[in-house]
Amino acid sequence: MSMCVVGSINADLVVHTARHPKPGETLLGHGGEITAGGKGANQAVAAALLGAPVTFVGAVGSDAYAAPAMHYLKASGVNLEHVARTDEVTGLAVITVDEQGENTIIVVPGANALVDAPFIATHSSPIAAAELVLLQGEIPADGFAKAVELATGRIVINLAPVIEVDKDALLRADPLLANEHEAGLILEQLGFGGEGSPQELAQRLREAGFASVVMTLGARGALVADDDLTEIASPQVTPVDTTGAGDAFAGALCARLLEGDSLVEAARYATRVGAFAVTGPGAQASYPHRESELPS
């Protein structure tokens, strides 16, 4: 079964500091290396490394950042026939990681801003043909809606960052994948209260019209809401860098859904993949292969 990821490709500029700076404060850091990122690319690489056949729809620039941004997409075997080279700069994420492995991220869209409705219409074939289409929030809202319109298979949406998108398009997610913060923002976008426990948020998202919801809870694991509410514990590991862990979860979840797992089974596996990812630095460089030994 095939999978199509419609999303962003970024170069990640990673800086490590003892702690995150306060407003107006200058801190010394180390690092400064450029690595591959972008939520769409991260999720595509995570799924491909775990054996899923993945096609990517997106755009990069023709600048020096394009090569490092595309490195793992190429190495993992993702089909890149529908990735356009443009005159715009490649998307850039500036990431600060503290000593506890927690990160803050600023994203400059660059070429990702070109992945709009006309662009998607030009690259419609892999979207229409895929058994599963995976989307995030790092492309324009009209491109997001067009991809949902074209999809004929299962649609998985990780609306991160939470942007304003067409309500009917968003509600086609099965599942909607979100962390607690994103879940609250999505509920507010749909006219519901965004406060409450993870269980309350998940149930409220179901009441809002989603067929199923998977909520990621970091070191606490995940929560699956469909006809039942299932809590999934995470393996306990020592985090090195949490960058891209949620994307590793998303890619793994979709890879297992393609294999025929139930949503709960796929989420259990994805939780282990997310735990594996935080034990290494960076995003795509920290993702496991199918043969990797995952924490349990």
Q: What's the rounded Cα separation, in Å, for the pair 160 and 122?
A: 24
Q: Is 218 annotated as a binding residue?
A: yes
Active-site annotation holds for 247:
yes
Q: Is 10 annotated as a binding residue?
A: yes
Q: Which of 226, 227, 247, 261 is catalytic?
A: 247
Q: Is 12 annotated as a binding residue?
A: yes
Q: Is 220 annotated as a binding residue?
A: yes
Q: What's the rounded Cα separation, in Å, for the pair 276 and 296?
A: 10
224 neighbors 212 (Cβ within 8 angstroms): yes
Sign of CA dihedral 216, 220, 225, 227: positive
Q: Is 87 annotated as a binding residue?
A: no
Q: What's the rounded Cα separation, in Å, for the pair 203 and 206?
A: 5
Q: Are strands 91-97 and 10-16 parallel, antiparallel or unpaired?
A: parallel
Q: Is 247 annotated as a binding residue?
A: yes
Q: Is 241 annotated as a binding residue?
A: yes
Q: Is 248 annotated as a binding residue?
A: no
Q: Is 40 annotated as a binding residue?
A: yes
**Checking phi first, is residue 196 left (phi over 0); if not, alpha (psi -120 to 50) or beta?**
left
Distances (CA, A) of 38 to 6, 159, 181, 206, 283: 11, 13, 19, 28, 9
Distances (CA, A) of 147 to 62, 130, 156, 196, 262: 25, 11, 12, 31, 24
Q: Is 41 annotated as a binding residue?
A: yes
Q: Is 19 annotated as a binding residue?
A: no
Residue 208's H or E segment, with its range, is helix 198-208
Q: Is 91 annotated as a binding residue?
A: no
Positions marked catalytic: 247
Binding site, annotated residues for substrate: 10-12, 38-42, 138, 247
Binding site, annotated residues: 10-12, 38-42, 138, 179, 216-221, 241, 243, 246-247, 277, 280, 282, 286
Binding site, annotated residues for K(+): 241, 243, 277, 280, 282, 286
